[in-house]
Amino acid sequence: MNIRVRNYHIDSYGHVNHARYLEFLEEARWTFLDQRGLLSLLDNVHLVVARIDIRYRRPAVDGNELRVHSHIKELTARHLLLTQTIELIHSGKNTIEADITLMPVDAASGRSIRFPDNLLTSLESFIA
């Protein structure tokens, strides 16, 4: 997924605010699931962020073109570890590197569950 940095993404220091990156990553996760036809398999299952580990490498500024890469790094019956990077398209260098742990939660009860078999099988086919 590509993103063009706009002036409203910029903080008073002149670069993309750290909290904006969370929004970029979330949009890319939904795009990742949508492009792979996985959204329809989330019936009654919420994917909840359980942990985020972000390493900020270099700033992005107004007008930069960014590319978000998302890859499944690890998958168990109870969690999914997604690695996401955001790179500056002009240099190919990463602005951030993140590991996001997602857990399946039953939409009705709000309790953590195992991935339904059909979703787990589909996710397994996309492991990097």
Under CATH, which number does the domain 2-125 receive?
Answer: 3.10.129.10
Region of 30 on the Ramachandran plot (φ > 0 left; ψ -120 to 50 alpha; else beta): alpha
Kindly report the number of other CB atoms within 10 A of residue 99's CB atom.
15
pLDDT 10s digits, 72-121: 999 999 999 999 999 999 999 999 999 999 999 999 999 999 999 999 99
Catalytic residues: 11
Amino acid at the residue 53: D
pLDDT 10s digits, 5-38: 999 999 999 999 999 999 999 999 999 999 999 9
Determine the pLDDT at residue 128.
Answer: 58
Determine the Cα–Cα distance for residues 28 and 46; give it in Å rounded to an integer: 17
pTM of the model: 0.92
pLDDT 10s digits, 31-60: 999 999 999 999 899 999 999 999 999 999
- Structural domain boundaries in the chain: 2-125
Determine the Cα–Cα distance for residues 51 and 46; give it in Å rounded to an integer: 15
Kindly report the number of other CB atoms within 10 A of residue 68's CB atom.
22
